[in-house]
Amino acid sequence: MPDTIQSVAIKVNVNGKPRSLKVEPRMLLVEMLREALDLTGTHVGCDTTYCGACTVLMNGAAVKSCTMFAVQADGAEITTVEGLERDGQLHPIQKAFGDAYGLQCGYCTPGLMLSAHHLLSRNQQPSEKDIRKAIAGNTCRCTGYQNVLKAIQLAAQNMKGA
Ligand code: FES
Ligand code: FES
């Protein structure tokens, strides 16, 4: 048995930037984002696929980055909350969470925004049921979800008008 773990070379596009990294095969995607790339907007809550604080987009789909290895992202496009704003302007989803008071402590918020992004990229007029289903994997301990729903509805309206 070798006593050192061989690193694996991977290439990923993170928030529009191509990145080449060497990662241990056991490194989680969330560890790669937070520790190797310093993108600490992606949070870790449970580390067991329950809370959704670690949600990011992989090739446009919401995934829980604590439940994937970094090597599984080889060749993929990843978007974290840091990648939502453009040229210093908040993304309409980020703005709507602020305007509709869709957050309190904010720990769950990056994950909720990316789940909302996945929903709104496929469905521009989501019903309340659609929204509840889309965020079913994101736990929020503060808001009671009502203002999160309002924020996502507001984001949908604003994105339609944009
Ligand atoms: S930290 Fe990934 S689901 Fe909770
Ligand atoms: S705003 Fe605090 S956990 Fe959601």
pLDDT in tens, the chain (162 residues): 566 789 999 999 999 999 999 999 999 999 999 999 999 999 999 999 999 999 999 999 999 999 999 999 999 999 999 999 999 999 999 999 999 999 999 999 999 999 999 999 999 999 999 999 999 999 999 999 999 999 999 999 999 866
Residues 103 and 140 in one domain: yes
Q: Give the pLDDT of residue 2.
A: 60
Q: Give the pLDDT of residue 161.
A: 66
Contacts of 118 (CB under 8 A, 6+ apart): 57, 60, 61, 62, 134
**DSSP secondary structure letter of residue 34:** I
Indicate whether 2 belongs to any domain. Answer: no
Q: Give the pLDDT of residue 5.
A: 83
Backbone angles phi, psi at 80, to 5 degrees: -110, 175
Closest CA to 32 of 8, 3, 48, 4: 8
Name the residue with the closest Cα to ligand 1, atom 3.
49
Backbone angles phi, psi at 112, to 5 degrees: -65, -40
Residues 73 and 109 in one domain: no
Residues 73 and 140 in one domain: no
- CATH number of 145's domain: 1.10.150.120
Residues 67 and 107 in one domain: no
User: Number of folded domains in the chain?
Assistant: 2
CA of 119 to the centre of ligand 2 (A): 20
Residues 12 and 72 in one domain: yes
Q: Give the pLDDT of residue 102.
A: 97
Longest CA–CA separation in the chain, Å? 60
Q: Residues with Cβ within 6 A of ligand 1?
A: 44-47, 49-54, 64, 66
Query: Which structural domain range is residue 109 located in?
Result: 92-161
Indicate whether 116 belongs to any domain. Answer: yes
Angle at CA of residue 38, ends 6 and 53, nearest 5°: 100
Q: Are 159 and 124 in contact (CB under 8 A)?
A: yes
- 141 Cβ closer than 6 Å to some ligand 2 atom: yes
Amino acid at the residue 5: I
Mutate to test the pocket of ligand 2, among 50, 54, 104 (most ligand atoms within 8 A of CB): 104
Handedness of CA 92, 97, 98, 101 (dihedral sign): positive
Judged by its nearest atom, the ligand closest to the C-alpha of residue 66 is 1
Residues 71 and 17 in one domain: yes
Indicate whether 36 belongs to any domain. Answer: yes
Residues 46 and 98 in one domain: no
Amino acid at the residue 128: E
